[in-house]
Structure 1
Amino acid sequence: MKVIGLTGGTGSGKSVVSQCLREAGAAIIDADLIAHQIIKKGKPAYDELVAYFGEQILQEDGEIFRRKLGEIVFRDKEKLEFLNICTHKYIVQEIAEQIQETKEKNQSKLIIIDAPLLIEAGLNEICDAIWVVYAHEEVRARRVMQRDGITYETAKARIANQKSWEEYKSYAHEVIDNSDTLENVQKQVESLMKKYA
């Protein structure tokens, strides 16, 4: 059973591709979902983050207020680096466990690690291939505006803050173009499933 890393910039429509892959019989490991879980109270990264950032990042119920944490780290590169180092190790560990479980169950054709920070977290090291989702920058900006309720300028700034398309492409074994229709994406997914499963 092959392990595929699925990544792409914000607004490229990775979640749509991920859903198509799930429907085609792939097992999806969602790195974002894991990232949310490992910072919950009682989970491994929680204490480290509270010790570093202080109680200013907590909500009334004692859980970490992710938006507040986001605001802090996006203004400070050093703090963002700490957050990434702290959380990535736990994310990688959890993903490795889920891969093992999925292989033991042996019910899926492929294992897909859906991770925006696939390369940054070093997850590409455990993948048999990297699939990168592509969409035109204008399409991405419109999607991010719609999804997050932000201005065009803010959406463009978020895109500019990420790796360039050239960088993504340099890691890609396959490129899935998601600039067009859902039907088009489904066709690409079907042909990749045949090729890799």
Structure 2
Amino acid sequence: MNKKMYNKNRCLWVDDDERMKIYHDTVWGIPKKKDMDIFEAIVLDTQQAGLSWKCILHKRNNFARAFCNFDPKKIAKMTKKDVARLMKDSGIIRNRLKIEATIENAKRFLEIQKGFKTFSKYIWSFTGGKSIVGHPKNLKNYRSHSTESILMSNDLKKRGFKFAGPTICYAFMQGIGMVKDHTVNCWKYKK
């Protein structure tokens, strides 16, 4: 990372951790339309539930290794034996419910992909294909959910997704750029 990147004003949730800065500057709030990128975000947000995003970012490469480079077709074929193996993997979050949810979500992802031609077309329909721009002034102004994340959550749950509550869906929407919630003092706010 160059010196200019270090001197930028960022959203207040970004600390001095280099991975957090890179994530903020190059991923968070930037629209993702490729199904593989979207599925990776689903996996990571499933794993993040109840934990810090920094923890997940620092384990991202381990998740990629453990979950077949985020390939939903391969993950959907995982068995109880794979779950047992992953429960012993100290490089990831060893939570049986989250591991099983990742496998189940891969199956549901593929079903939606088949029905809508792309998962992207389905998921972006909740915002009419456009990013919603928020205007948080500080950490207290960040929302934990929205009307769109509630609708998304309800639909995903009906389709069999796990770990798909409104708050997780909202964080997912921020991560893939469906919601741009950079604080007004952040260098990315107007971009």
- Specify which structure has the bigger relative contact order, considering alpha-carbon pairs within 8 angstroms and separated by 6 or more residues: 1
Q: Which structure's CA Rg is the greater one?
A: 1
Alignment TM-score, normalising by the size of structure 2: 0.27
Please report the TM-score for the alignment, with normalisation by the length of structure 1. Answer: 0.27
Structure (1/2) with the larger strand percentage: 1
